[in-house]
Amino acid sequence: AEQIDRAATHEKREKSILFCPSGCSSSHAAVKWECSAIIDDGTGQCKLYAERESALLLLGGSLDVASIENGAWELDGGVFFQPSLPASSYAMEFIKDATIKARRCNVETKRNKRIKIHSKDLPSAFSLLPAGVKAEYLLHKHCRQWYQHNHHLKMDLFCRCKPLSEHVTSVNQTE
């Protein structure tokens, strides 16, 4: 399964609208994780910035990293989360359409009793989403749940996952 995932990721890199301005091959590209937070203890504020593995450590281990990185290749700005912003209208439209399609399929299957299909075989709304929207959904879900469980830390979390060449040594920090 891992080899199939690598092949699919390589194919997405090749078809991605993202490119290196120096003309580097997409085979050298990787996804970069960035995470910044403003920490306020009541006496002052500090901005915390983490990237790559440090950002993933800050976000916690339950995050579906592979799915989010896979979807990052489909979105020209990468995948990002900021608590003050809702999911993109692009993602919300796909989620709405997928939910309607999944419900319609479930209703049609229940009406047609001649077809024996187990409920686990019916498509879920999530399974009908493109990889980019799945990535945005998963990142928003994880970060909002993280924020709910850690709101007492008085930390605002901003997270971005974007494709980046592995040969780039410096990137402007997130704002």
The model's pTM is 0.70
> Which DSSP symbol is given to 17?
S
Q: How would you class 80 by CB atoms within 10 Å of its CB: exposed for 0-12, middle for 13-18, buried for 19 or more?
A: buried
What SS3 state is found at 63?
coil
Report the DSSP beta bridge partners of residue 18: none
- 36 neighbors 50 (Cβ within 8 angstroms): yes
- 146 neighbors 21 (Cβ within 8 angstroms): no
Q: Distance between CA atoms of 80 and 137, rounded to whole angstroms?
A: 10
Q: What does the pLDDT look like over 46-67, one tens digit per residue?
A: 788 888 888 888 787 788 998 9
Q: What does the pLDDT look like over 25-40, one tens digit per residue?
A: 767 777 888 888 777 7
Q: Distance between CA atoms of 117 and 108, rounded to whole angstroms?
A: 11
Q: Round the average pLDDT of the chain to a whole number and report it.
A: 76
At residue 118, the pLDDT reads 63
